[in-house]
Amino acid sequence: MNDVTCAIKSNKKIADQVYEMEFYVNDDLIERPGQFVDIKLDGFFLRRPISVANKAEGSITLVYKVVGEGTKMMSSLKKGETLDLLMPLGNGYDICKAESTEDGDIYLIGGGLGVPPMYLLASSLIRAGEKPKVILGFNTSEEVFYEDKFAALGLDVTVATVDGSHGIKGMVTDAMPPEAGYVFACGPEPMLKAVYERSRDGQFSFESRMGCGFGACMGCSCRTKYGSKRICKDGPVLDREEIIW
């Protein structure tokens, strides 16, 4: 774990209320897709956890939605300004586990702000020789982002919007087969649960309000079949078989 101060390379709007921010930082710090950073913002006591959406030589990219005062402040930051981050945090997705399954396609399923970590995950899986199918869910067309980026990776991408204004109408599960072999999912809890029910195996990334973000305070513990786990440290990614709803 590191506490790094890094300069903003860019910070721009990419969809309704959604921003993409790139930082200059040693990208080797991020070991796995699904890991996150915890951002200290002036005037806020707690840090803001945001998943890593992408990394390049010497930089990482986050995608975040303005939902409250903290993310609003983030959206006002300019190129050159610096931020204090703790990183890397969380276990992240273990792509080796997916390789070992042999029953059918691998699905990457992201809902809303669960989409960003799927992008770095997709790149990692491709590098490992996999070709996952991508399903992205949003409420409406104005919220859609990253569809083109996933397509540019050469992947099969389906977008579902609740109001049908873009892609198919409905939920991500409406774009899933009745029972998917292996899923990597990130998104709101009701979505995760629906995906869970239509999958045989997989990894699911959870959110929780966090005190520390690095495993010390027990503010984020959840029950699993193997006892209590800290979403910030032992998660945010849990294996399908250990999840208790």
Ligand X SMILES: Cc1cc2nc3c(=O)[nH]c(=O)nc-3n(C[C@H](O)[C@H](O)[C@H](O)COP(=O)(O)OP(=O)(O)OC[C@H]3O[C@@H](n4cnc5c(N)ncnc54)[C@H](O)[C@@H]3O)c2cc1C
Ligand Y SMILES: Cc1cc2nc3c(=O)[nH]c(=O)nc-3n(C[C@H](O)[C@H](O)[C@H](O)COP(=O)(O)O)c2cc1C
For binding to another protein (CB under 8 A), which residues are involved? 1, 3, 40, 44-47, 86, 208-212, 214-223, 228, 233
| Residue 211 lies near ligand Y (rule: CB under 6 A) | yes
Give the one entry of ligand Y, another protein, ligand X, none that residue 86 binds, where binding means its C-beta sits below a cut-off of 5 to 8 angstroms depending on kind. another protein
Please, which residue, 122 or 243, has the CB nearer to another protein?
Answer: 243
CB of 221 to ligand Y, least distance (A): 11
**What mask of x and - would describe binding to ligand X in positions 24 to 63, judged by CB under 6 A?**
------------x---------x-xxxx-----------x
β-strands 199-205, 180-186: how paired?
parallel
Name which of another protein, ligand FES, ligand Y, none residue 45 binds, using a CB cut-off of 5 to 8 Å depending on partner kind: another protein
> By the criterion CB under 6 A, which residues form the site for ligand FES?
210-213, 215-220, 230, 232-233
Give just the sign of the alpha carbon dihedral 229, 235, 240, 241: negative
215: alpha, beta or left, given left = phi > 0 and alpha = psi -120 to 50?
Answer: left
What number of chain residues touch ligand Y (CB under 6 A)? 3
Q: Residue 147 gets which letter from DSSP? A: H
Smallest distance, ligand X to C-beta of residue 109, A = 15
Nearer to ligand Y, 165 or 221 (CB): 221
Q: Give me the helices (H) in the chain, please.
A: 69-75, 95-99, 115-127, 147-152, 189-197
For residue 215, state whether it binds ligand Y (rule: CB under 6 A).
no
Residue with tokens 């990334």: 205
Minimum gap (Å) between residue 198 Cβ and ligand X: 23
Among 17-25, 108-116, 197-205, 211-219, the segment contacting ligand Y (CB under 6 A):
211-219
In the complex, least distance from residue 102 CB atom to ligand X, rounded to whole angstroms: 30
Buried-exposed string 68-88: b where 16+ CB fall within 10 A, e elsewhere: eebbeebbebeeeeebebbbb
Instruction: Tell me how far CA of residue 129 lies from CA of 53, 145, 150, in angstroms.
Output: 20, 25, 16
The residue with tokens 């006892």 is 227
Of the candidate spans 129-137, 142-150, 163-171, 202-210, the one that interacts with ligand X by CB under 6 A turns out to be: 202-210
**Close Cβ partners of 181 (under 8 Å, ≥ 6 residues apart):** 101, 103, 104, 105, 106, 107, 199, 200, 201
Alpha carbon distance 243, 6 (integer Å)? 36
